[in-house]
């Protein structure tokens, strides 16, 4: 059997295992949105925090599963999640921030793009308006979080929220959304990405001039380190910005960060939480790997014939290694991807299931199954 044939066999078998597990899990989650697991079962983090930044990943994963299988249980779960997120708009609007793309682009956005639902369209545009309103005209950036002390902060994560703005321009024909997104991507390219392809998680700017004034500590080991999930956000985020704009510089930056990431994981293709951290303790972040794999697979679709295989092969090797080392396929337990680390220094946030890990694993398998839909 050829290498390609072996990969396709693995993709089909892995997808089937995922589908089998989610057919059991999805119906149990009505009225709930998970963040992690407790005793092998998804929690209901929505009950604690309706506006939590990860609350869209469950619904997004359900849409991907529905698109691939046409099982109505997944569509029902996706619609339930979208409905639940309305509470974040109505009751927690002042707390929403740069991550509204994670909440609504992969829930209401997918719903609108697949089915043309008018209420979903309104949700997408409301979220896009909120994100665009965070744009600092003087500094030419979208500010992160809230609070006066962070008024000049930007984070690499926002690159994955920019597709919400590009989609709003597609829906309305109003290019201002896209211009805001491109201005922020240009700043990120200049201030977050280092010459070697590693990235800063957080950058502090002068809010009146846009000048870079420092690098606050983020979720990695140190300000000057290389937080793995931040690298993954950059690979996928710049690739998506290239897809929506056609700007060559975005593709070039995505490739630079991808080369750095591939070099950092090539020993065993199991991403550490931070690529510039002490050798001990060994801290993994499986979620960085599956997110980066999605970015690498999409990047492979954008480059020339003789470049494709490098990115696709790295993605497949990483996914297979992660499957072997970190996936839980027990159908009696809800989550799949284990060993995710939300941040380096918080012990309670290391080596656990996190819902966006399951989302990006699902998306990567969909891409490898010749899925044609871009869900962002």
**Beta-bridge mates of residue 274:** 227
CB 221 within 8 A of CB 172: no
CB 205 within 8 A of CB 153: yes
Residue 214, token pair as written in the block: 């420092």
CB 345 within 8 A of CB 74: no
Which of these is catalytic: 43, 51, 80, 99? 99
268 is a catalytic site residue: no
* Sign of the alpha-carbon torsion through 125, 126, 128, 132: positive
334 is a catalytic site residue: no
* Sign of the alpha-carbon torsion through 152, 157, 159, 165: negative
Measured CA distances, 304 to 236, 282, 300, 310 (Å): 18, 37, 8, 11
**Beta-bridge mates of residue 135:** 142
Query: How many H helices and E strands in the chain?
Result: 15, 7
Which of these is catalytic: 43, 51, 80, 157? 157
Catalytic residues: 99, 157
């Amino acid at each position: 059997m050829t290498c390609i044939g072996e990969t396709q066999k693995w993709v089909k078998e892995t997808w089937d295992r995922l589908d089998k597990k989610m057919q059991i899990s999805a119906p149990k989650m009505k009225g709930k949105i998970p963040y992690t697991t407790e005793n092998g079962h998804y929690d209901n983090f929505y009950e604690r925090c309706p506006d939590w930044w990860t609350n869209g990943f469950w619904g997004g994963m359900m849409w991907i599963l529905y698109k691939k299988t046409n099982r109505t249980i997944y569509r029902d779960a996706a619609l339930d999640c979208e409905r639940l997120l309305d509470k974040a708009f109505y009751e927690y609007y002042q707390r929403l921030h740069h991550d509204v793309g994670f909440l609504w682009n992969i829930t209401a956005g997918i719903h609108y793009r697949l089915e043309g639902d008018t209420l979903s369209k309104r949700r997408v545009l409301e979220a896009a308006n909120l994100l665009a309103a965070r744009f600092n005209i003087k500094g030419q950036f979208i500010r992160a979080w809230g609070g006066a002390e962070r008024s000049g902060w930007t984070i690499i994560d926002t690159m994955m929220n920019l597709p919400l703005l590009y989609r709003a321009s597609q829906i309305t024909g109003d290019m201002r959304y896209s211009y805001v997104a491109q201005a922020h991507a240009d700043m990120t390219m200049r201030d977050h990405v280092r010459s070697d392809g590693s990235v800063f998680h957080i950058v502090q700017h002068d809010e009146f001039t846009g000048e870079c004034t420092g690098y606050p500590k983020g979720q990695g080991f140190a300000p000057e380190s290389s937080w793995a999930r931040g690298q993954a956000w950059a690979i996928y985020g710049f690739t998506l910005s290239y897809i929506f704009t056609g700007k060559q510089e975005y593709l070039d930056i995505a490739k630079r960060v991808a080369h750095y990431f591939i070099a950092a994981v090539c020993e065993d293709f199991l991403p550490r939480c931070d690529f510039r951290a002490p050798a001990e303790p060994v801290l993994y972040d499986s979620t960085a790997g599956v997110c980066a794999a999605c970015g690498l697979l999409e990047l492979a679709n954008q480059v020339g014939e003789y470049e494709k295989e490098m990115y696709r092969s790295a993605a497949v090797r990483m996914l297979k290694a992660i499957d072997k080392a970190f996936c839980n396929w027990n159908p009696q337990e809800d989550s799949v991807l284990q060993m995710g680390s939300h941040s380096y220094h918080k012990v309670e946030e290391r080596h656990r299931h996190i819902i966006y890990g399951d989302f990006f694993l699902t998306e990567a398998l969909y891409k490898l199954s010749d899925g044609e839909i871009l869900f962002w």
